Chains A and B, each alone.
Chain A
């Protein structure tokens, strides 16, 4: 059974989305990548549930295939 919440679960999505975009403004590709990585690690630790984290990783990777 899925533990990952996939129904809407956060207030004011436009605000959060805007902050996600804004925090990257003016950053180099490398810094942006590192920022995203830090964000993911912070959130995964906050969630604190391996099953949820692994499911989210799988869902995020769905449909994306490695090149050759």
Chain B
């Protein structure tokens, strides 16, 4: 289709013909078939909902997009049954190293998985198109999913009852009347544009060259970051492994550059050789230049149109907070939407999506902004502090935690969420607070998170109270073989946690009773306490 002119193709998807009816009625329309839209579709479909997803292009795009997928994202995909193929395809890594100047020893290194004994690693790297293919394969297995590639949303309006979207496909336009529309249509979101909505924040005056190159040379599977390396003086650089012998190389370029010249093969080669060695034999995969931005919409829920992923918020990429933040959005949204569609929760529950997803976006933007300020100091004094940190870090351990080459994505907590039940007045807890995600731990024959599933769960040790709408999972029956559930949850005999369908803690009790747990469950479903 002409819509995709100039965009590199990874794999063609057969364009779906326009439906015969010129008007159709749906409960949910997902706009956008990237990792966020596809994850939303899979989550909804697994809950038994009929899902229609439209995507403007009729192919999966190649090019340089997201590559780092966090443990939390992997936990979500594991819940959705696609964790294994992701980890099998991806490159697992935990260790990051930071170098400075000509020094071949790192000034600082960090292990991203300080909490061991969990099923999934801190991160995997893989090209976004592999993620999309794995999600698409899973979706194609589901009879209640209708994937329409080559279908573009070209107009929409809403009243209090529904959204009316005009969709253009080969063979003509048609109208979708849908209860809810989830806009996962990326940073330039046509849905956002058509609704005339805001998208505010900062553009940072810096450019980065992304060079995805293929070479066959043994290197450690670690994230390497350089400040002021000999091959990019005064700037920074990053090296990351992807599957299929593809590596992601990032080079900071500064602000006033000729973007077209920067991506010419002959201009990229010296950077690549500088980083990897003069003798390296490599082939270009994709070269591009990007500019940092940190911005978000003021609200993500607009009537019956709900924004998720890059359409709602953008961050600078050092921290892997873009795609992971988007998956967090739909992980948060889908169970709520499912309850609302069933009438098991009031539509106002979706306001808690707006609240929690905004908290997540703000934390991601805060971290990305701080990293960017460290990478791209905006004043002489800011540069002096940055360089002071790097100088001190070599000799003094205290300075190393100040080194900020990107704070990598971890699950965001919502300590003040309206869905959280407060702890008992007299209870002292370590463990996992309401508004934080469940942690994994080994059990007798597998992993705890696998047993939590995607409904409400009462996680207990021996409490026998029954609460309608929540399944009881007893730790003592699972076998807390390493004692790590007790340690991580501070869960004593007779105690209980209430977990949400997205495996976040809704409440916890030293001495649970049915009324308290039922009230917390109602509260987590958006009913006033």
- A interface list, Cβ under 8 A from B: 29-30, 33-38, 40-42, 45
Q: Which residues of A contact B398 (CB under 8 A)?
A: 45
SS class, residues of chain A in contact with chain B: helix
Take A41-B392, A42-B392 as given contacts and tell me if A36 and B399 are in contact as well, using a CB distance cutoff of 8 Å.
no
Assign chain B's interface to a size class: 10 to 19
Listed A/B pairs (5) with beta-carbon separation below 8 Å:
A33-B384, A34-B387, A36-B384, A37-B388, A41-B402
Q: Which residues of B contact A42 (CB under 8 A)?
A: 392, 396
Q: Is B391 an interface residue (CB 8 A)?
A: yes
> With the chains together, A45 CA to B402 CA distance in Å?
11
Within 8 A of A (CB), among B390-412: 391-392, 396, 398-399, 402
Q: Which residues of A contact B384 (CB under 8 A)?
A: 30, 33-34, 36-37
Q: Is B290 an interface residue (CB 8 A)?
A: no
Nearest 3 pairs of A and B residues by beta carbon: A37-B388, A33-B384, A38-B388
> With the chains together, A38 CA to B399 CA distance in Å?
10
Q: Is B389 an interface residue (CB 8 A)?
A: yes
**Interchain nearest-CB distance for A8 vs B (Å):** 28
Q: Which residues of B contact A37 (CB under 8 A)?
A: 381, 384-385, 387-389
Q: Which residues of A contact B381 (CB under 8 A)?
A: 33, 37
Q: Which residues of B contact A41 (CB under 8 A)?
A: 385, 388-389, 392, 399, 402
> With the chains together, A42 CA to B396 CA distance in Å?
10
Least CB separation from A34: chain B residue: B384
Least CB separation from A36: chain B residue: B384
Q: Which residues of A contact B387 (CB under 8 A)?
A: 34, 37
Least CB separation from B393: chain A residue: A41
Least CB separation from A46: chain B residue: B398
Q: Which residues of A contact B278 (CB under 8 A)?
A: none
**Interchain nearest-CB distance for A46 vs B (Å):** 9
Pairwise interchain contact B388-A30, C-beta atoms closer than 8 A: no
Q: Is B426 an interface residue (CB 8 A)?
A: no
Pairwise interchain contact B380-A33, C-beta atoms closer than 8 A: yes
> With the chains together, A41 CA to B388 CA distance in Å?
8
**Interchain nearest-CB distance for B379 vs A (Å):** 10
